Amino acid sequence: MNRLRIKKRISLAFLGTFIVLCFAVLFLNSKAAPSRDTLVVGVPTDRCPVFYVDPVSYETVGIGVDLIKKVADEAGYDVEIATITEPNLKEALDNNEYDIVMPFGSSIQSAKGKNTIVTENIMETPFTLVTIKDGTLPTLNSLKIGMPVSLKGVSETVQKLHPGMKIVYYDDIGESVKGLKRGEVDALLNNSYVWSYVLQKPSYINLHVQPSAMFSMGFKAGTVDTIEGREIIKRLDTGISKIKETQVEAITLDYTTRRLYHYDIFDYLYLYGAFIILGTLLFAAVIGTMVFRQRSISLIQEERVRRLIDHDELTDVYSMNGFRKRVEEILRKNPSVPYFLSYNNIVDFKFINDSFGKETGDKLLKFWAKISKEILSDDEAIGRVTSDQFVILRRIEGNARIYEDEKDVVEPVNNYLISLGKNFKVQICSGIYVITPDDIQNMDVDHMIDFARIAERKLRESGKTGFEFYNLNQWESKKRAVEIVGHLSSAIESGEVQVWYQPQVDFSTNKIIGAEALCRWAHGNLGWISPGEFIPALENSGKIYELDCFVWEKVCQDLHRWNTVGKRMTISVNVSRNDIEENPNIHLLFVGLIRKYDLGFD
């Protein structure tokens, strides 16, 4: 038992000793390892593939970054890459946040005039001129070149190499290309690596690299000439001396063989703009056609629904809904035109359907509707109430119109079944309501139809056929007014209408000082018509202007005749509001009459 205990203690002692020795070695190694300084390197990021921001990692990378990291590592530095925020390298040199700034071709003065020192050459950077394709290029010393303002530090080296070269600065490469295309400069200058990236842009296809106009510049890091700066440059030069040419070439080749340029939307528009526009137009045309077709289908469906609502499917006349709307529209449009509304019903239509079949009954209704529509004008209407009942809006044009309708419509309907070889005469009962001015003022089409229906039912219940008036007095009055209005022109020509003069007497002298022109009408059929009857009829129909023109002309003729025999008279004539509405320049009419008949304006 004691022997086992001793072995266990010896094992624990060995294990503890081993652990202590390991910690001691680690501690001594950490003390022996030299510390590495961190070098902050300020670089631009607009010079892909030399310096640029990786779109995935968002870190600053490129040929220059890899090279300076390699050099710094050989010199014992850790590197922190910082993007310069200054507009150019000269101003970046004055920023103490950067230990070194790059790239430089040679030492230059900072923006504040401080002297600088640069490292040995890390690599040779080929600089190339780019021009518009097929453009002529002057000699280098007489060139006017464009450069981004961020290359202002490089421009000093360029001008040392080519003193006669004029340099124009632009905000970026894109602006410099625009300047070249506008003819502001002869060529653009940048390093070949940058051009290999930039010229991948499709819209720069007309830019051309001038291979004969190439020169190389150094690729160096620089800082302000101070003791600390010299120490940094000295250490970096040591690192540069350890870098092999093959390592530089490998890094350069790695970046220049990558497809670093990524098309933006404008590049795609430039490449495929015509196809995109054509495709868009085609797509728009397809969508437009679909929308138009859908709209057309909708309109057709709406029209179909409207027709179903406003038209009777069997007879293709107005339904009651459509008839109401159409009658209201016609009456409001023609308030002075006399109209009547008839309610028409076939006697014993159920017997016709039962005896000859529903199809025959339907054909009878369609025949009635068809011949009725043929005689109606655009400002008249017909509608189907239900089954065999129709309503018709018709202008009043005297008894002759009713007899014509009987001949053209009623008689053919009466004989329809007989014409089919069936021994049955169709009978129609019609109720007529004459529309009054109050009906137009207080529009209620159903109310008018009800009056016509009452007259039809009264006639049907009496066992008679034909037509019956609801308001016979109105019919006679309207019919007489139609006769008056329709006969006016021929009455004037035939002399039925006469101008009479009612003397105007000055009671102080008992002398006639003038007269008032009055109109009298001896109608060939109606006899003497009172002005109280024919003047309102003519005013309501809009024909009063024709009568007044006749009176004015007749008065001027008589005045001229009296003047020639030395009888000067003054005659008063009537001018109504209707006349002025008919002829707003009515004063010119009177001036014309006065001149025509040589009358004085006094």
Give CA 327 to chain center in angstroms.
38
- Tell me the pLDDT tens digit for each residue of 452-477: 998 888 888 888 888 888 876 666 66
pLDDT interval class at 360 (50, 70, 90): very high
Q: Tell me, what's the pLDDT at 115?
A: 93
pTM for this entry? 0.43
DSSP 390-459: EEEEEE---HHHHHHHIIIIIHHHHTHHHHTT-S----EEEEEEEPPHHHHHT--HHHHHHHHHHHHHHH
Given a cut of 60, whether residue 31 has pLDDT beyond it is no
What's the confidence (pLDDT) of residue 242?
92
DSSP character at residue 84: -
Q: What is the tens place of the pLDDT at every residue in 138-151?
A: 777 788 888 888 77
Residue 162 confidence class, pLDDT cut points 50, 70, 90: confident
**How does the average pLDDT of the chain come out, rounded?**
84
282 has pLDDT over 60: yes
Q: Mean pLDDT throughout 509-517? A: 84
What token pair was written down for 541? 């129909």
Give the pLDDT score at 434: 87
Nearest to 582 by CA among 551, 539, 553, 552: 539
pLDDT attached to residue 236: 94
On the question of pLDDT at 602 being above 80, the answer is: no
Residue 21 binned pLDDT confidence (cut-offs 50, 70, 90): low
Which pLDDT does position 277 carry in this prediction? 84
Amino acid 16: pLDDT: 61
Q: Which residue has the higher pLDDT, 294 or 371?
A: 371
Confidence label for 32 from pLDDT (cuts 50, 70 and 90):
very low
Q: Chain centroid to CA 113: how far?
A: 62
Cα–Cα distances in Å, from 101 out to 36, 40, 53, 235, 537? 20, 9, 17, 15, 107
Question: How buried is 317 (Cβ within 10 angstroms: 0-12 exposed, 13-18 middle, 19+ buried)?
Answer: buried
Inter-CA distances, 417 with 422, 423, 427, Å = 5, 7, 11
What mean pLDDT is predicted for residues 297-314?
79
What is residue 325's predicted lDDT score, i.e. its pLDDT? 93
Write the pLDDT tens digit of every residue in 532-554.
888 887 887 778 888 889 898 88
* Per-residue model confidence (pLDDT) at position 547: 86
Say if residue 270's pLDDT is above 90.
Answer: no
Give the residue-averaged pLDDT of 73-79: 92
For the residues 503-508, what does the mean pLDDT come to?
84
Instruction: Give the per-residue pLDDT at 59.
Output: 92
Q: How confident is the model at residue 303 (pLDDT cuts 50, 70, 90)?
A: confident
Q: pLDDT tens for residues 174-208? A: 898 898 889 899 888 887 888 877 888 888 888 88
Q: Residue 100 above 90 pLDDT?
A: yes
Of residues 498 and 155, more confidence is placed in 498
